[in-house]
Structure 1
Amino acid sequence: MSAKKQQEKKTLTRAEEQLMHILWDLNGAYLREVMDALPEPKPHQNTVATFLKIMVDKGFVEVEVIGRIHKYVPAISKDAYSKRSLSGLVKNYFSGSYKQAVSFLVEEDKLSIQDLELLLKELKKK
């Protein structure tokens, strides 16, 4: 099964997403670099290595072997993952309706009239 097909069926945990953000920011990294980028209190290195292996198994990360050292590289872009996550959120919580999702954000004061006006301008440009 291709990495893309694996990704479609799998999701990342919160901890795995934190590691993905580090890998995206660093454009791939060695375990030591990932450890250095983690905030305090840092998990044990073996825990992080296990999470990275799981992410490889899920198809979200690829490994470049350089001698005896592994470099972990994102197999999915941040934009692609964001689109997928947003689509899943709208599908699972708003019956697939982006209108409902935007209405919810407005009702919760998470999206202002000015934000909506900017979005409308962007839509009209397209």
Structure 2
Amino acid sequence: MEQLTRAEERVMQVLWHIKKGFVKDIIAQLDGEPKPPYNTISSIVRQLEKKGYVQYKAYGKTYEYYPAISKAAYRKRAFFKLFTDYFDESAGNLLSFMVQENSLLPEEVEEIKKIINQK
């Protein structure tokens, strides 16, 4: 599957949240003002459908969209792409980065140590 753009990911976040909906439902759930134009979101949803991330049910000329891929499956795919592209598939590189950037709380470090010791 192709990588998602920021706009596509934003629409997918809404669809994962609402489970299914029409373009107007997606627009209503988007943060910020002014809301994006209907045609813009409609185009994004159609692109997501072409990429295999969204499916739809037709009601005449109106379409109800729903995710074709779960949020968990997408998260896994996105994480492994990040892991491969930026951390050379090294858990050590990833953890080192997180520790150096102060991204881990002390209790999280302890939890990671417990997990490692159990393995």
Report if TM-score (shorter chain) is over 0.5: yes
Distance 2:82 2:97 in 1: 13
Q: Which moved more, 1:98-107 or 1:85-94?
A: 98-107
Q: CA deviation at 1:119?
A: 3.4
- Change beyond 3 A, Cα 1:107–1:66: same
Query: How many residue pairs align between the two structures?
Result: 118
- Please give the per-residue CA displacement for 1:80-110, whole angstroms capped at 9, x wherever unaligned: 1001101000100011112211110110001
Which ranges in structure 1 are unaligned for 5 or more consecutive residues?
Answer: 1-6
Q: CA deviation at 1:18?
A: 0.5
Q: CA deviation at 1:124?
A: 6.3
Among candidates 83, 86, 89, match of residue 90 of structure 1: 83
The answer to whether residue 101 in structure 2 is matched with residue 108 in structure 1 is yes
What TM-score results when the alignment is normalised by the length of structure 2? 0.90
Match of 1:3 in 2: none
Which ranges in structure 2 are unaligned for 5 or more consecutive residues?
Answer: none
**Counterpart amino acid of residue 15 in structure 2:** L
Distance 1:124 1:76 in 2: 34
Q: Secondary structure at the match of 1:35?
A: helix
Q: CA deviation at 1:122?
A: 5.1
Among candidates 8, 12, 28, match of residue 36 of structure 1: 28
Alignment of 1:45-56 (within 5 A): 45-56=38-49
- Please give the per-residue CA displacement for 1:27-79, whole angstroms capped at 9, x wherever unaligned: 12111100111122211110100000001001111111123320111111000
- Change beyond 3 A, Cα 1:124–1:32: farther
Q: Secondary structure at the match of 1:29?
A: coil
Aligned CA RMSD, in angstroms, stands at 1.7
Match of 2:16 in 1: 24
Identity %, equivalent residues: 36
What TM-score results when the alignment is normalised by the length of structure 1? 0.85
